[in-house]
Amino acid sequence: MTRLIGLSRAKGLAATITGSRVYLRPPHRRDRDAWIRLRTISRAFLEPWEPSWAEDALSKSAYRRRLRRAAQDQEQDLGCAFFIFHRESDELLGGISLSRVQRGVAQSCSLGYWIGEPYARQGYMTEALRGLLTDCFGPLDFHRIEAACLPDNESSRRLLEKCGFRREGYAHEYLRINGRWHDHLLYALIEKDFRKEDAPPA
């Protein structure tokens, strides 16, 4: 029988996920200033790949709303959010989120991520995602992780493929990004393929 574990009760969820250069943990109120600063300096870099930013997107109240939403989603087993930090400096690097959680016969979720412009293309997100996937297919008890990216977002495509995701399709006008409906490439990773990818060579 499949063991169903809610995100709010999953063993190890609140604990830090640690890699060689990064660690992940759920966002805290004390991260507010670092989040506002990193998102501010990275705005032009991030906007082409994200939903339109609200006028108060970088305000303290917007950050509080994000925290409340993340806490509600986690408690209701709908999703969870993590911030990525540098192990040596404790600098905030970016974030990863799991959303659209489906349990029962599906045991799946959708993946989202962002990285601050000063830390892009340095392998931080690859390390962070691989660490989180270990928990996704462990204590979080998922069978399938889905992700979508814009066709011209080469960095995102490379990240997903490097982490073992397979391209499964092409969705027309799938998500509204930066004010316009865009086509997306659809990717997914299932547990057995992750275990195969993660297994040591024979």
* CATH fold for the domain made of 17-193: Aminopeptidase (3.40.630)
Paired tokens of 146: 């889905």
Give residue 165's Cα distance to chain centre.
14
The model's pTM: 0.89
Closest CA to 106 of 171, 190, 163: 190
User: ∠ at Cα 73 (117, 60), nearest 5°?
Assistant: 50
Contacts of 28 (CB under 8 A, 6+ apart): none
State the residue for tokens 């408690």. Answer: 75
Instruction: Give me the residue spans of the domains in the chain.
Output: 17-193
Paired tokens of 58: 């970088």
Tens of each residue's pLDDT in the chain, 202 residues = 233 445 654 544 545 788 899 999 999 999 999 999 999 999 999 999 999 999 999 999 999 999 999 999 999 999 999 999 999 999 999 999 999 999 999 999 999 999 999 999 999 999 999 999 999 999 899 999 999 999 999 999 999 999 999 999 999 999 999 999 999 999 999 999 998 766 544 4
Instruction: Answer for the pair 184, 148: CB distance below 8 angstroms, yes or no.
Output: yes
